Structure 1
């Protein structure tokens, strides 16, 4: 058994008497913050001082874990901004992240001056965190909210994706800026490996959601699965009396400006006898844009998703990492209608597992959604596969195992330092 797999019991007495300062870094995006919140809460509960560097838009979420917030200004689009602010191309996205990292680093250096941590935790998008950890000489652990690179990833995915952008003047300028920023901070690593190949990573998704999981380097990446805690603070939900089937439709928190899709969902499920539809539409769509809805359709800007999934018969999802694993954790059949980024890959994995059907957004008509739903719900093979995945997820350890592994890294550092 590797040292980082050693249970918390071996270190509990040491860590109880020797709390550490752990610094967490993230951007203000729900999909990047939510997956790790319970890990932070658990570390605080174990007596560690945890500081959380995050823009004000999601500072309350971080503070609710018991962590001490260190706010900083971000130039990235916020969680309530129009998703179009991210642009349409690969270069649009990566340029935003690099520009934000460059301007954030001085802020974070000031925020932590004289208060350097013993260990850094960071979201995959928090580039300054790895620079700071190198400068402070402390371990850094990536908390990945989605899939990670496998052996062969660069050749199979990254190189084809970047082939054309790298040939452009704009793409070359991006890499030149990134190289220069890293070199200014004493880092000679190539930008691609700096972003995509952390020295250590805890993967906050089930192994079942990871493409080519058998080719992932497990000396670097440890799958701890979904880190779900008590969601009572999000509110509850009661299944309506007489609802024979309940379907939840949610496209997450970012790519929600899809009124045409929501209208198709109303037509698909609002006319099905015995079905009840819970439709989360986000902040960018006016409920009036849906027109008159039947009594069996419940429309909301936001819903307590996990509470509903525990009672639902079907989940129509964009296949984001968070929603996908909540569907798996509750053994809910899914219709995956991916909208952007990693959602397409997640949808493919869910379909390959036999627990979902992928429907391209352009084909998500009322008829197709209804036909797909009726084929999924009640299928005994789908139910069997969902239960098998849920059982495997339960063995991954979740929040407590993630916290154990963070503490093990702290113990190793102290042992090396002879403390």
Structure 2
């Protein structure tokens, strides 16, 4: 254990599983090392404050105007619909958070990439800021290759111009006018990347003076409960589209059709909060329909995983050496699906091509291929060497002011 003086560390995030969960084991480790951790999290449904408190950190609750996690339709359909809410939320949350920490300012700020007030507060307080980055990071050349083409049309619209002008004015007002909005969001002072390097595109072009890959920080997840493999189940398949893009009853019916009558197979079908089990019709007894499952506990016993290829699910599949069929739904999941396929541990199956026949063929091909098992084992070993939670905590302590 690294020795360091007891410090007050503040973590800032939003109420979304894919942003809170990756940080929890790091926070738990920092508390175990004797640091006092305050964790700023919105006061919204979803038991996020309880998750934070379970690590030993002190939840600092604030009001958020972001759409609730798990309701993808609330995010609209255009790029501006996806990015504008974070600015709106940051502007209204900043005075709340400044007041919450007044007189109890931390020695160091940790922040998720979506928590815009955190970096401003770190600047205001004159303390180091470290981003706990839960997905892929921009590489050298990213702006020219991806960022600018993606936002070019938006910057020509009235709404887009207003968004960028408002962002620039907010940064200038808070002493960060030398940063563009893109650099403010995507170019942190220092970042610990909570995904394995194996999932990072163009990893050789990532600035290692800023970004350090520490890999999955998963812990034992005992608080999520256990799962028992049924007696007689020769093969276990987990199907999960994560927590947000789960309103896919036809897809779940296809999974039940594909594997429900397959001899020796048991299917754990996580359908999320937005589908009623009755929408699936009659399912075979070998298909276990759940709104939520302790995913890591299931994956430790699973033979295959049909996933949306979110950052969390992808690295859990890699960490357990589970072959994956990636059926991406949104944002970075498409890139993750391609990376998993390139690693030789998965197949990328577009949603529009996913039916009972294609799903069955993809899963069976993966579990019957010894080359897939060998690649999965090699990636799993590579991830273990990245250090995970202990390495992340060591690097955070190295950033504390002397």
What is the TM-score normalised by the length of structure 2?
A: 0.98
* Residue 115 of structure 2 is aligned to residue 115 of structure 1: no
What is the TM-score normalised by the length of structure 1?
A: 0.94
- How far apart are residue 301 of structure 1 and its match? 0.5
The secondary structure found in structure 2 opposite 1:357 is strand
Q: What residue is the counterpart of 2:86 in the other structure?
A: 97
Query: Within 2, Cα distance between the matches of 1:230 and 1:207?
Result: 21
* Residue 147 of structure 2 is aligned to residue 158 of structure 1: yes
Cα deviation digits, residues 208-241 of structure 1 (max 9, x gap): 0000001001110000000011211111111111
Q: What residue is the counterpart of 1:51 in the other structure?
A: 38
- How far apart are residue 186 of structure 1 and its match? 1.0
**1:116-135 counterparts in 2 under 5 A?**
116-135=105-124
Select the residue among 373, 390, 394 that pairs with 2:384: 394
Query: Within 2, Cα distance between the matches of 1:164 and 1:207?
Result: 32
Count the aligned residue pairs: 398
**Range with bigger deviation, 397-406 or 239-248:** 239-248
Query: Within 1, Cα distance between the matches of 2:286 and 2:359?
Result: 17
Q: What residue is the counterpart of 1:38 in the other structure?
A: 25
The secondary structure found in structure 2 opposite 1:283 is coil
Cα deviation digits, residues 107-135 of structure 1 (max 9, x gap): 00110000100000000000100000000
Query: Within 2, Cα distance between the matches of 1:235 and 1:114?
Result: 39
* Residue 174 of structure 2 is aligned to residue 185 of structure 1: yes
Cα deviation digits, residues 95-152 of structure 1 (max 9, x gap): 1110000000000011000010000000000010000000000000000000001011
* Residue 126 of structure 2 is aligned to residue 137 of structure 1: yes
Query: Within 2, Cα distance between the matches of 1:55 and 1:305?
Result: 24
Q: What residue is the counterpart of 1:351 in the other structure?
A: 341
Query: Within 2, Cα distance between the matches of 1:316 and 1:121?
Result: 33
Query: Within 2, Cα distance between the matches of 1:146 and 1:249?
Result: 21
- How far apart are residue 338 of structure 1 and its match? 0.2
* Residue 242 of structure 2 is aligned to residue 242 of structure 1: no
Cα deviation digits, residues 38-65 of structure 1 (max 9, x gap): 0000000100000000012311111111
Query: Within 2, Cα distance between the matches of 1:100 and 1:339?
Result: 24
Query: Within 2, Cα distance between the matches of 1:272 and 1:364?
Result: 18
Query: Within 2, Cα distance between the matches of 1:336 and 1:42?
Result: 32
Query: Within 2, Cα distance between the matches of 1:256 and 1:111?
Result: 35
**Range with bigger deviation, 55-64 or 276-285:** 55-64
- How far apart are residue 366 of structure 1 and its match? 0.4
* Residue 9 of structure 2 is aligned to residue 22 of structure 1: yes
Query: Within 1, Cα distance between the matches of 2:84 and 2:245?
Result: 20
Select the residue among 170, 182, 185 that pairs with 1:195: 185
The secondary structure found in structure 2 opposite 1:155 is helix
The secondary structure found in structure 2 opposite 1:50 is strand
- How far apart are residue 169 of structure 1 and its match? 1.1
Select the residue among 271, 280, 302 that pairs with 2:292: 302
Cα deviation digits, residues 268-298 of structure 1 (max 9, x gap): 1112111110000001000000001101000
* Residue 243 of structure 2 is aligned to residue 253 of structure 1: yes
Query: Within 2, Cα distance between the matches of 1:61 and 1:84?
Result: 26
Query: Within 1, Cα distance between the matches of 2:244 and 2:55?
Result: 23
